[in-house]
Copies of this chain bind each other. A is one copy, B any other.
Amino acid sequence: MSTIKDVAKMAQVSTTTVSRYLNEFPNIRPETRERIASAISVLNYRANVAARGLVTKSTRTIGVVASTDVDDFFDNPFFMHVLKGISRAAVQRRYDVLLSTVTGKEGELLSNWIHGHRVDGIVLMKSRVDDPTLKMFACERFPAVLLGRPHGNEQVDYVDNDNVEAALRATQYLIELGHLDIAFIGGSREMVVTEDRLKGYREALRQAAEPVHEEYVKVGQYAKQTGYDLCSQLLRLRRPPTAIVASDDIIATGALQAAHQLGCKVPQDLSIIGFNDIPASEFTIPPLSTVRVHMERLGDGVAQLLFDRVQDPQQPARHLIIKTEIVVRNSTTIVPRRS
């Protein structure tokens, strides 16, 4: 493995000049430039990232940390699409992406990355209601962007959907179809996104002057199994709901399966609307009505904000809200006659 010294020696110049060449300084004689270029190509030289980072204090790397269970992360197309947006944006700017999923001790990971100068900035995926890591960022003044929104009014950059509004509209849509017994199933209430969507759901009911039946509100994890379990429970209720708002397509998918197995026909007996519009939603049985959240745009936005902040760490916090829209497919219809 050759170093800058080897190149300098072969090109018969000082390491300084080689360094200048590498960093595209203007004032180098074309002749010297030539010699350096050919030396580099002969030696197949590439700058040592560690050495460079040590002095420049920059890594040209951004970290992406998903504070979720590994399965919930990789199995959920939502995250993968956001990740795609981030990755694409990073490649464009010639940055690398460091990826990590940790549950529990994300604090330690972040400490290592931040204080260990491992990354120039961090994307934090999914915020919890009471997120200690968020406080870290605030204290550290380290470039970071949140996917989702903070629960309090912390000064962090973030990109989020209009979740409250979206859930409100989704529920209203069901109400307009004549549904009154509408249930809500979601992931952990520790996630802000769950709270927000639940809030929109409640608000729609309130505006329609309908009561919220607490046995209609159930949560678990952001996984298919949760959808399956909760839907089963709902359908076994004395008075089962005629419609369900699922706070994630993955969950809706599980609900679909449960309904099917319990002989409950969707949408005739039960309407289901999901969230995200993952590709699979188009192919479920029946195709799933859902709230489209523009996953890649979220990723783009997150990357955009992050790189801006890396460049100017002092600027005031910025927020980006991506509008959603309801996609009506075949899992929702007008309310059935009560038997």
Task: Name A residues whose Cβ lies closer than 8 Å to a Cβ of B.
Answer: 1-2, 44-51, 53-54, 59, 61, 70-71, 73-75, 77, 80-81, 83-84, 87-88, 91, 96-102, 111-112, 114-118, 224, 253, 256-257, 279-280, 283-285
Contact = CB atoms under 8 A, between A and B. Distances in A.
Contacts of A2: 115
Nearest to A285: B285
B54 A253 contact: no
A256 B116 CA distance: 50
Give me the 6 closest cross-chain CB pairs, A-B, nearest first: A46-B115, A74-B84, A50-B53, A280-B280, A50-B54, A46-B116
Contact of A283 (B54, B117, B280): B280
Given A44-B115, A257-B283, 19 more contacts: A45-B115, A48-B54, A49-B50, A49-B116, A50-B54, A51-B54, A61-B98, A70-B84, A70-B91, A75-B80, A75-B81, A75-B279, A77-B77, A87-B100, A96-B100, A96-B118, A97-B99, A99-B99, A283-B284
B54 A112 contact: no
Given A46-B111, A280-B283, A87 B116 contact: no
A188 B73 CA distance: 29
Quickly give the copy total for this chain: 2
Contact of A116 (B47, B84, B117): B47
A159 to B, nearest CB: 18
A111 B40 CA distance: 12
A300 to B, nearest CB: 12
Contacts of A116: 46-49
Given A44-B111, A116-B49, A100 B97 contact: yes
Contacts of A115: 1-2, 44-46
A267 to B, nearest CB: 15
Nearest to A256: B283
29 contacts: A2-B115, A44-B111, A48-B116, A48-B117, A49-B50, A49-B117, A50-B50, A50-B51, A50-B53, A50-B59, A70-B87, A70-B91, A74-B84, A74-B87, A75-B80, A75-B84, A75-B279, A80-B80, A87-B100, A91-B101, A91-B102, A96-B98, A96-B100, A98-B99, A99-B99, A256-B283, A279-B280, A280-B280, A283-B284
A48 B74 CA distance: 30
A49 B114 CA distance: 10
A50 B115 CA distance: 11
Contacts of A253: 283
A295 to B, nearest CB: 10
